[in-house]
Structure 1
Amino acid sequence: MRYTKTPYGLFLQWLLLLGLLLFISWIFWEKGLLQTALLSDPSRITLIILILFVIATCHCAARTLFLSQEQSALDRIVLFTSANPTGQGSNRWWMDNQLPARDSLSGQLIAGVAAIHSRAQSNQGSQDTQLLAQVMAERTRGQHEVGWFICGLLVKLGLLGTVVGFILMLAPVAELESFDLSDIQGLLQRMTTGMGVALNTTLMGLSCSMLLGLQYLILDRAADRLVSEAVEFTETRLFKAAGREQ
């Protein structure tokens, strides 16, 4: 069983990534790139993309902290069972309230598996254990679907900004009545604004989507690792210990 040595290691990794993102954002702000992208977009799609990215990043922070707490709870359970191995007689920690972190997802899984094996129905118990593992997997990564939806939404908003930008760029052509030098200069200026909207929204949507996808990829891997370690613990240590006691 491999478990995290550093408490809240996942949350610390996310903080490191957040610090890198903030540093890059500060550089862009100092160079005036963010201000230019926001002020030159009359459709405000760039602002919407940034707001959604910030909200989703805050959700990543909450989920990272949650998974770190769950991983720490599983580590405490593993350490407790290592220090208190199941023996003959009354030392049956999977059947009483001595197990730490019983309110965690791992603790609930262990309590459910203990209740299943107490019925002494091996075939049905195996199926119920799989159902409990699926329930735990849903609870650990179910909310991440919202984040992946936002990742796709950011890309679509960037493409929408591209369409809006081309509309803003080509609309002045229909209004052109003469080919005077002053009219041509105004036309080029308005077309440049539309092209800027198209490029800025596309770049912002793709960049934010990739950065947000990286965060949720880390969360998904952490959730899968937590479920696999909890299931491995119940099947290789708890299950065998319960079988010896019966």
Structure 2
Amino acid sequence: MADAAPATPPHHRMLGAALVSHLPGARRSPLALEQAPNGLFLLWLAYMGLLGFGALLLWRAGAWHRLVAADPTGLTVIIVLLFIGCSVWAGRRAWALGLQRQRLDELLTRQGSTNTTEEHWSAEYLRGCTQPGADQNTWMQILGERAHGPHEMAWWLNGIQLKLGLLGKVIGFSILALQLGQMDSFDASQSAQLLKNLTGGLGIALLTTVTGLTGNILLGLQLMRLDRFADALVTDTLAATPPAQAPATQATAGAPHGDRPPGP
């Protein structure tokens, strides 16, 4: 029986995942609340409710209007929309993983009965491993792909948020450099307009960078918990796999005296 979960994918080494992994509790195994029926989805709902409350406070303070008005490139809006879309996908994924966890618990309660027609990753893995001549490593890879495969695109989009923030930073400093390059001489009467143009480019650089970093960290927290929950699901499935039994050969079951065939 394989006793180890699949190796950590390379996308976990991205900057967002590295930042999130050092936060308190990010790399812990699934909590008791997550193991409850639909617990992971309920935890995601509570997390999104907290973020929604914070977004409402920012809207009442007028921060969203100023954020959109200060960024003519629209990169901050793209980052926010990307974060919302990925967060909705994370909620759907949390629901799907929660259903698979419930079916695994039901499977263990039935003491290994895999006679079910529902889409059940663990039951499919156990049925495949019990087939004659089955390769457990192949079925383990299939189980790992079902549990972790869809997360790779989400991690990639999470990194795109950070890259968009850095792109806005480059654009902002480029605008700042162009404004400074157009200065032939300093005129005190035009100082107000000059400062306005300079701070515009600096504002684009700072706002897009802050928005990209914030979205990267907040989405990384959701994806990290999904990965940890999927790891626990794969580990429990592997632990429930019956040990492979070597087929008995005629040499071990037959003649105890070397090459002499059994007989009276």
In the alignment, which residue of structure 2 is the partner of 1:108? 124
The offset of 1:34, in angstroms, is 2.0
In the alignment, which residue of structure 2 is the partner of 1:79? 109
How much is the aligned-residue C-alpha RMSD, in angstroms?
2.1
The offset of 1:106, in angstroms, is 1.0
Higher normalized contact order (CA 8 Å, seq sep 6+, divided by chain length)? 2
Q: How does 1:19-58 map to 2 (within 5 A)?
A: 19-58=49-88
| 8 Å contact from structure 1 (residues 102, 108) kept in 2 | no
Q: Distance in 2 between matches of 1:71 and 1:59?
A: 18
**Structure with the bigger percentage of helix:** 1
1:204 alignment partner, one of 205, 211, 215: 211
Q: Distance in 2 between matches of 1:15 and 1:222?
A: 16
CA displacement 1:161-196 (0-9 Å, x = unmatched):
111111222322233344333322111001111111
In the alignment, which residue of structure 2 is the partner of 1:171? 178
CA displacement 1:197-234 (0-9 Å, x = unmatched):
11100000000000111110001001111011111112
Say whether residues 1:130 and 2:130 are aligned partners: no
- For the residue of structure 2 that corresponds to 1:234, the secondary structure is coil
- For the residue of structure 2 that corresponds to 1:36, the secondary structure is helix
CA displacement 1:96-139 (0-9 Å, x = unmatched):
xxx34652111111211222xxx2x5xxx4xx112211211111
Q: Distance in 1 between matches of 2:205 and 2:182?
A: 20
TM-score (norm 2): 0.75
Say whether residues 1:213 and 2:229 are aligned partners: no
Q: How does 1:138-177 map to 2 (within 5 A)?
A: 138-177=145-184
1:138 counterpart letter in structure 2: E
Q: Distance in 2 between matches of 1:102 and 1:33?
A: 48
1:131 counterpart letter in structure 2: T
The offset of 1:5, in angstroms, is 5.6
2:171 counterpart letter in structure 1: V
2:189 counterpart letter in structure 1: S
Runs of 4+ in 1 over 3 A off after TM superposition: 2-5, 99-102
1:145 counterpart letter in structure 2: E
Q: Distance in 2 between matches of 1:165 and 1:8?
A: 44
- For the residue of structure 2 that corresponds to 1:42, the secondary structure is coil
Q: How does 1:232-243 map to 2 (within 5 A)?
A: 232-235=239-242
Q: Which stretches in structure 1 are left out of the alignment for 5+ residues? A: 86-92, 241-246
TM-score (norm 1): 0.80
Q: Distance in 1 between matches of 2:199 and 2:162?
A: 23
| 8 Å contact from structure 1 (residues 168, 194) kept in 2 | yes
Q: Distance in 1 between matches of 2:69 and 2:192?
A: 21
